[in-house]
Amino acid sequence: NAGVTQTPKFQVLKTGQSMTLQCAQDMNHNSMYWYRQDPGMGLRLIYYSASEGTTDKGEVPNGYNVSRLNKREFSLRLESAAPSQTSVYFCASTAPLRGDYEQYFGPGTRLTVT
């Protein structure tokens, strides 16, 4: 199993550009999450999807949209990137319905907005 995969690994955007971060998991997990990690602030939840077909806002959703494309894939979209969105983005998945609360993280996408 590849676990959780994310693309791209690195991205540089200009202010106002848009992009979509892709995430996929092959562990048959129901729940998927997007976090951002900034220095000194730990990880903050942007959006999550408890199951296929549902999405909910997390702690810092402004400026982002998500799509749970199917059970495997959960994408994060920045419609108009801002320098404040410079961060490392992590996708995670878990299987709470199976009693497995561990969140498995992908390797991250390092995004710079100039």
Partner 1 sequence: GENVEQHPSTLSVQEGDSAVIKCTYSDSASNYFPWYKQELGKGPQLIIDIRSNVGEKKDQRIAVTLNKTAKHFSLHITETQPEDSAVYFCAASKHNDMRFGAGTRLTVKP
Out of 8, 16, 20, 59, name the contact with partner 1 by CB under 8 A.
59
Stretch that binds partner 1, among 15-23, 65-73, 75-83, 102-110 (CB under 8 A): 102-110
CA distance 101 to 14: 37
Task: Provide, rounded to whole angstroms, the least separation between the CB of residue 50 and partner 1.
Answer: 5
Site for partner 1 contains 58 (CB under 8 A): yes
Identify which of residues 64 and 90 has a Cβ nearer to partner 1 in the complex: 90
Whether 60 contacts 45, CB under 8 Å: yes
C-alpha distances in angstroms, 90 versus 52, 98, 103, 107, 111? 19, 23, 11, 7, 11
Stretch that binds partner 1, among 12-20, 53-61, 68-76, 79-87 (CB under 8 A): 53-61
DSSP letter at 73?
A: B
